[in-house]
Amino acid sequence: MRLAPLCCYATDPDTRPDCTLTPVVAFGATRLCASCAARRSTMGKGQRPRPLETPALDVLTWLAAAEHDLRAARHALHAAARRARQRGHSWQVIGDQLGISRQAAQQRFGQDCNQDLLDGLEPWGVLRTQYP
């Protein structure tokens, strides 16, 4: 799911609770909403602001897109672990790569892995349309 660009502080609600998500100006590659642009200190000083025309983003649309991306990433992670095993890599090597123990890797990605997180996804991570 592709969303419009976000303000660079959109993913930091603790630091910028008043961020409106939708960037209206860019300083180089940094995009800011009106609220964050007003609060900036030295970011972009010396650079001319570039006005942006970005469609407004609804926070619930962003939430749904983030959940979709999370499910797709989980599916990709499980698929990569299965492929690594198919190519002969040990649970120890897989665990080391992920920063977890051999046992944790085997429990997480082994034969009894939780199929619930894969339900509703095609092999390439796209949500299947559910009809009642």
Q: Is the pLDDT of residue 120 over 60?
A: no
Range picked from 39-53, 76-90, 109-123 for highest mean pLDDT: 76-90
Give the pLDDT confidence score for residue 46 in this predicted structure.
Answer: 74
Q: Is the pLDDT of residue 99 over 60?
A: yes
Q: Are 22 and 7 in contact (CB under 8 A)?
A: yes
Which one has a higher pLDDT value, 124 or 16? 16
Strand partners for 127? 121
pLDDT (average), residues 98-118: 78
Give the pLDDT confidence score for residue 29 in this predicted structure.
Answer: 87
Write out the H or E segment, with its range, that includes residue 51.
strand 50-51
For residue 52, CA distances in Å to 6, 32, 49, 56, 67 come to 11, 9, 9, 11, 27
Q: Where are the alpha helices (DSSP H) in 3-132?
A: 34-39, 59-86, 91-98, 102-109
Give the pLDDT confidence score for residue 2 in this predicted structure.
Answer: 67
Write out the H or E segment, with its range, that includes residue 25.
strand 25-27
Average predicted confidence (pLDDT) for the chain: 82
pTM reported for the whole predicted model? 0.64
